[in-house]
């Protein structure tokens, strides 16, 4: 990598490690001792710091709050079998972060700040990376507009931060999901492919409505016709139909997931045929009914590989095969985990050993 950047490091006076219960880790609630911050001002990034995790004083007029210039990412660091720490495919997250930045008229972050920030934070908070099977340290990059100015225009000032949170599995059981045909997550020409705050805000109400009906997650459909399956809103969707891996193609309304891409590559390598194309609701329902659809799962960094157990569509519930019988997704999930934890050869060079 490039030269080492200048960075101020301020250590926390007291670590919270000893008062943290690693057997109880609800996703995203427990933060490690430190965070990384960089500031954008006068057209450049600077003031790189590792500081104790905590509040940042800010004006309530900052434009992120009013007009939504806010983007984020999500990746994980794993404690490998040999004790080394590795981050899974951070360059993909870096590239996607800057794609999101461009779409939201925000400045791109230089690669060395992104990568060296991660390395510095992991170095200082290494003990926060859990060793248990299935556990990891979730890394959350975020950038938001900090101009205290109420005019609608791209902000001149931004903060980039890296937060880390030790985590176990996000979903622990097979999901009951609802195919959403009233509300939409993203539309053509919009910002669905960006990891930007508003995409998640707009999904909260439909999600809450679905939860009231007993669902764990939504399957979003296309805004124009509601006939095609897009994704789950925090994870991509993958089906096994007639023995082939079938997944909605990436488009402006579907986020280009790192986990999705990884699974596609692993499946191809294992000799499984992969189809990236439009996937209709009709096809999925028919596949469940005639038995050609043998597996369905959500794939994402936070969600990992989570089987879908039941699908609700227009008031009817369709039960899928018993997750315990699904050899294709279970096999891929195991290979993926083994690579992350250094238990299988990393032939694709996905692990970035810090």
Ligand X SMILES: *Cc1c(COP(=O)(O)O)cnc(C)c1O
Binding residues vs ligand X (CB under 6 A):
74, 195, 231, 233-236, 255, 257-260, 300-301
Task: Let me know: does 54 contact 31? Beta carbons within 8 Å.
Answer: no
Nearer CB in complex with ligand X: 98/236: 236
Q: Using only C-alpha atoms, what is the Rg of the chain?
A: 21
Nearest to 97 by CA among 140, 156, 136, 45: 140
Least separation in angstroms between CB 255 and ligand X? 4
Nearer CB in complex with ligand X: 63/236: 236
Least separation in angstroms between CB 317 and ligand X? 24
Residue 336 tokens read as 């993926």
Nearest to 330 by CA among 215, 240, 265, 257: 240
Least separation in angstroms between CB 311 and ligand X? 18
Neighbours of 29 (CB within 10 A): 9
Least separation in angstroms between CB 95 and ligand X? 11
d(CA 295, CA 88): 25
Nearer CB in complex with ligand X: 236/351: 236
Least separation in angstroms between CB 256 and ligand X? 8
Q: How far is CA 152 from CA 61, 103, 192, 340, in A?
A: 12, 16, 21, 43
Nearer CB in complex with ligand X: 166/300: 300
Nearer CB in complex with ligand X: 233/312: 233
Neighbours of 252 (CB within 10 A): 14
């Amino acid at each position: 990598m490039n030269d080492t950047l200048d960075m101020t490091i301020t250590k926390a006076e007291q670590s919270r490690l000893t008062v943290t219960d690693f057997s109880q880790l609800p996703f995203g609630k427990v933060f490690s001792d430190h965070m990384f911050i960089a500031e954008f001002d006068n057209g450049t990034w600077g003031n790189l710091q590792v500081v104790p995790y905590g509040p940042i004083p800010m004006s309530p007029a900052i434009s992120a709050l009013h007009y939504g210039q806010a983007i984020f990412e999500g990746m994980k660091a794993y404690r490998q079998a040999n004790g080394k720490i590795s981050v899974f495919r951070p360059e993909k997250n870096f590239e996607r972060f800057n794609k999101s930045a461009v779409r939201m008229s925000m400045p791109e972050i230089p690669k060395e700040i992104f990568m060296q920030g991660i390395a510095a934070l992991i170095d200082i908070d290494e003990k926060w990376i859990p060793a248990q099977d299935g556990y990891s340290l979730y890394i959350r990059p975020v950038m938001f507009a900090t101009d205290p100015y109420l005019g609608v225009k791209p902000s001149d000032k931004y903060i980039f931060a890296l937060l880390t949170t030790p985590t176990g599995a996000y979903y622990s059981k097979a999901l009951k999901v609802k195919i959403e045909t009233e509300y939409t997550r993203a539309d053509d020409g919009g910002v669905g492919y960006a990891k930007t705050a508003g995409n998640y805000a707009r999904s909260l109400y439909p999600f809450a409505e679905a939860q009231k009906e007993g669902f764990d997650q939504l399957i979003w459909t296309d805004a124009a016709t509601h006939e095609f399956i897009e994704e789950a809103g925090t994870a991509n969707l993958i089906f096994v139909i007639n023995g082939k891996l079938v997944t909605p193609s990436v488009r402006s309304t579907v986020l280009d997931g790192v986990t999705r891409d990884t699974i596609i590559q692993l499946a191809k390598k294992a000799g499984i045929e992969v189809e990236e194309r439009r996937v209709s609701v009709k096809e999925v329902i028919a596949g469940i009914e005639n038995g050609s659809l043998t597996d369905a799962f959500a794939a994402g960094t936070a969600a990992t590989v989570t089987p879908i157990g039941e699908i609700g569509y227009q008031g009817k519930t369709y039960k899928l095969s018993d997750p315990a019988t699904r050899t294709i997704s279970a096999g891929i999930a195991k290979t993926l985990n083994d690579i992350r934890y250094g238990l299988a050869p990393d032939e694709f060079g996905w692990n970035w050993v810090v």
